[in-house]
Amino acid sequence: MLVKKISELRKILSQARREGKTIGFVPTMGALHEGHFSLIRAARQETDFLVTSIFVNPTQFAPSEDFAQYPRDLEGDLKKAEEIGVDLVFAPSAEEMYTEGFATYVWQERLTERMCGLSRPGFFRGVATVVTKLFNIVGPCVAYFGQKDYQQSVVVRRMVRDLNMEVEIRVLPTVRQSDGLAMSSRNKHLSESERQEALCLYQALKEAEALVAAGERKSEKIIEKMREIVAGAPSARIDYMVVVDPENLEDIETIEGEVLVALAVWIGKTRLIDNMLISPEKSEA
Ligand code: AMP
């Protein structure tokens, strides 16, 4: 079922709640792929009434970014969503979400001030604002996010805690193609040769994992090796590469426990991100 109006969504969800159903919610920007489906399948199993939103949120794109070019395929998405058992697809217009005179944003400190937040100023303000709006519209629910956008999941968890939202957050592992490339709607923009070069993100992460397994504990050394791998791809340009604490996203110099290794790389005109949680204990086992 496709719903475009907030008031209609609220009516349907109140009815579902009256029937004692729990609500599962998977927010997306559409162009659905296996990464989204893994969240949808989990939500389908764990909750009674499943809502997926499809909304390319204008407030999280800077004017210079790819809002206009972002892949859109509402018809295809609706078919796939129905096949996989989504009860309701919420696909509002930008005008429905941002009424004239819109002036209120959610701004989070610290966690948003690094990694993707540094290279995309205003991005997390847009994300936090739209996720807050969507949570307010959907109401109490279990909401599903992907580890692929690790920083986003940390920011959303923090926001839910800080603002006392009645939402339980679940974060599920990154779904990859068979050669390791993380699924992403933006992969559609890659040419055949860029698609091959895009593998350097995953290769760099695997190298980081191997180095830690071999006993390397200095983040600097790991990043150096990762840089070398990415430098081997002619169209690649590094945006950032970090080894950070998975909870507070602060830089780690010497690895002692689990770390998040994350990177953003431009492949031609397409910016891709990926990450891996790496733990020295696990690697040594
Ligand atoms: P997006 O449509 O790209 O905004 O993504 C919507 C949700 O799907 C976010 O929570 C993403 O983290 C998640 N997601 C996107 N790609 C993947 C992937 N390859 N594996 C797991 N989750 C993903």
Active site residue 33: no
Domains of the chain plus CATH, in order, are 2-172 (3.40.50.620), 185-276 (3.30.1300.10)
For ligand 1, the distance from its centroid to the CA atom of residue 104, given in whole angstroms, is 26
pTM of the model: 0.97
Pocket residues for ligand 1 (CB within 6 Å)? 28-29, 35-36, 38-39, 145-146, 148-149, 174-175, 182-185
Could you tell me if 41 and 81 are in contact, meaning their C-beta atoms sit under 8 angstroms apart?
Answer: no
d(C-alpha 142, C-alpha 197), whole Å: 37
What are the tens digits of pLDDT across the range 80-90?
999 999 999 99
Average pLDDT, the chain: 97
| DSSP conformation class of 175 | P
Report pLDDT for 281: 81
What are the tens digits of pLDDT across the range 173-224?
999 999 999 999 999 999 999 999 999 999 999 999 999 999 999 999 999 9
Could you tell me if 120 and 271 are in contact, meaning their C-beta atoms sit under 8 angstroms apart?
Answer: no
| SS3 state of residue 8 | helix
For ligand 1, the distance from its centroid to the CA atom of residue 145, given in whole angstroms, is 7
Single out the catalytic residue among 9, 32, 36, 120: 36
In terms of Cα–Cα distance, which of 223, 239, 250, 236 is closest to 195? 236
**Parallel, antiparallel, or unpaired for β 49-54 and 167-172?**
unpaired
| SS3 state of residue 62 | coil
For ligand 1, the distance from its centroid to the CA atom of residue 40, given in whole angstroms, is 11
Per-residue pLDDT, averaged over 11-37, amounts to 98
Report pLDDT for 285: 46
At residue 102, does pLDDT exceed 70?
yes
Q: Which residue intervals of the chain are DSSP H helices?
A: 6-18, 34-46, 74-84, 94-97, 116-119, 123-138, 150-162, 192-197, 199-213, 219-231, 280-284
Name the one residue in this structure whose structure tokens are 């070019």.
Answer: 69
